[in-house]
Amino acid sequence: MANKDQEGTYWINRPSAKAYDFEYKAPPPPSNPVVRGVALHYLSQLVAASGFVQGVLWSNAGFGKLRDRPELNDVDARYDPTVIKARRGAESASASTNEQHIQALNSEDWTARKPAKSPFYSALDYHEAYKSGSVTPLQVVETLLPLIRRDVKDATEHSIAFLQTKVDLVRKAAEESTARYKAGKPLGPLDGVPMAVKDEEDLTGYGKCLASKLDFTNKADVTSFCVKLWLEAGAICLGKTTMHELGCDTTNINPIWGTPRNPYSKHYYCGGSSGGSAYAVAAGLVPFAMGNDGGGSVRIPSAYCGLYGLKTSHGRISVRPSSNLAISTGVAGPLAANMVDLELAYRIMAQPDSQHSSSALFIPPSPSPPRTNKVLGIYDTWFSRADKAVQTACRAAIDHLTTHCGYTLLPITLPLIHDGQLAHAMTILAEIASGIPTVSQLTPPNRILLSLGKRTPAVDLLQAQKLRHLLMQHLAHLYAQHPDLIIVTPTTPNAGWRINDADLAYGCSDGNKQIRNMEYAWLANFVGCPAISVPVGFGDAEDQDIEGQGRVPVGLTGMAEWGGEDGLLGFGYEVEGWLGEEGRPRPETWVDVLGRAREGSGGVDG
């Protein structure tokens, strides 16, 4: 279905606008059992083998709440949340038009968008260093390889964030980039810049296991389209980063491949499921990395590690020939140390793919024009469920935006918001479970989760899709009434998730904390809208008596209308300008890659 919008553009599959006004009902405290250690191992075997136990746990999780709900009686089910704003009469996506867009992007003056002072190197710092000849891409990768390889005797704390690094491929790309700079012909601002890719994408020369014991490697040995665009821009992929097994939780704990610890506080998780990519950026190893987001998996680790993360509009980024296990909720998106890196990475990877049914129709991203309607929507009842420290940091950023950046604050409501989270959880678990033939080789927490996903009846899954459509209709109403509206929430209601060392061997089944951790993040995935997480400060870590625990970052999320990534980038720049250098100290584990490369030291700090 196509709907006409402003002159020259039109909407494809946009839901009809309809406001819903239901009485807010706070959810009951979750009552899922918390199980860890050896007990978790044996419980997972029982759950996987017993349909009766699966049914008990499925019901206990509240998934049956959507049955017989009168609010959903006259709502059609909608399974695909893809909504596209297309340009009438525009050229169809092709390699030539993409090349033109990339050339225009490379010719822009990016230095004006770089923060005057940042504690983190950006891609532009690498680019300028290479142009000046003070360091080469080859020197940079030779500095990084000893730090990130897990296949060497003296592996460092950084290597646990990487699953695979193909040394020959990394060096070959660095040699080619070095030659281009020597000839005075770099491809653009990403040429020679190190980056990393989550093990959810295909990459030529690499296997793919989604950080599990299973093999998802594409037999054709190909590279995902969005990753290919980064490589064609000259970026050097250091390898595949670790993730939560199958992307099925938000801590990034991984008993199989190891669990990287938060660079800001070693007693906290990096967040997941893109935690390996988040660690690599926060520790200074790369200025940006690829993540995937089915329920906050780009934004939650970005918030936990003090980074910028963009969950893109559903269907906009082509991962062809890869396919998300979370079919209707998962997307690819970048994590970055600075907003300029986030924009660069996004605008390159978001070029339309002529062989992808939805990506081909999206308008290519471009620099954001000045916005005349700067409105922040806040559902205060929902927002106020966050911890006090998180609210304080997020509200301070919002106060700055309304006081100094011209934004107005609009009170809004969102219908059935807590039921919506259950609907999302039911949907994504069923989607992932449908792509896993057996749970026998999974870690104990995922044996349980995906056993429950396989248990979901069709009638309940369809009820969830009715609620998806209801939420999309309500959002279409809000966005029609208030163009350029950005809905703001904390990224997570809690400041970080503390590591229990006893969980590292088996994982942990803590559905209560998982539900709370995703309280805000799920919405953008379920309805297909783009959302950005930006760092806004720190919250005190729990148990301050633990040595070296320190403080953990807090993130603020903005969610825009379908296809509204450009506006979110402008929002991100404004928050970045407010936070400034003093609001983002480097973590203790940060690596001065350019400094080491210039000195020719490599290796590990003494």
Phi-psi region of 237 (alpha: psi -120 to 50; beta: other; left: phi over 0): beta
Q: How far is residue 496's CA from residue 267's CA, in Å, rounded to a whole number? A: 10
Which tokens sit at 238?
A: 């250091």
Which tokens sit at 6?
A: 């402003």
CB distance 547 to 315 below 8 Å: no
- Taking CA atoms, 222 is separated from 163, 226, 318, in Å, by 18, 12, 14
Quick count: other Cβ atoms within 10 Å of Cβ 375? 18
CB distance 470 to 415 below 8 Å: yes
Q: Which amino acid is at 95?
A: A
Q: How far is residue 280's CA from residue 195's CA, in Å, rounded to a whole number? A: 9
- The DSSP result for 411-430, as a single string, is E---TTHHHHHHHHHHHHHH
- Taking CA atoms, 262 is separated from 62, 308, 473, in Å, by 32, 15, 38
Q: Where are the alpha helices (DSSP H) in 456-605?
A: 458-481, 511-517, 522-527, 565-579, 593-599
- Identify which of 290, 292, 272 has the alpha carbon closest to the alpha carbon of residue 334: 290
Burial pattern 537-547, b for ≥16 Cβ within 10 A else e, equals bbbebbeeeee
Q: Which amino acid is at 433?
A: A
Give the sign of the dihedral formed by CA 451, CA 453, CA 454, CA 458: positive
Quick count: other Cβ atoms within 10 Å of Cβ 151? 10
- E strand or H helix at 454: helix 444-455
Beta bridge partners of 554: 537
Q: How far is residue 102's CA from residue 222's CA, in Å, rounded to a whole number? A: 22
- Report the catalytic residues: 198, 273, 297
- Taking CA atoms, 250 is separated from 75, 85, 329, 475, in Å, by 31, 31, 15, 26
Give the sign of the dihedral formed by CA 295, CA 488, CA 486, CA 338: negative
Q: Where are the alpha helices (DSSP H) in 350-406?
A: 380-383, 388-404
Half-sphere exposure of 73 (CA within 13 A, CB side): 4
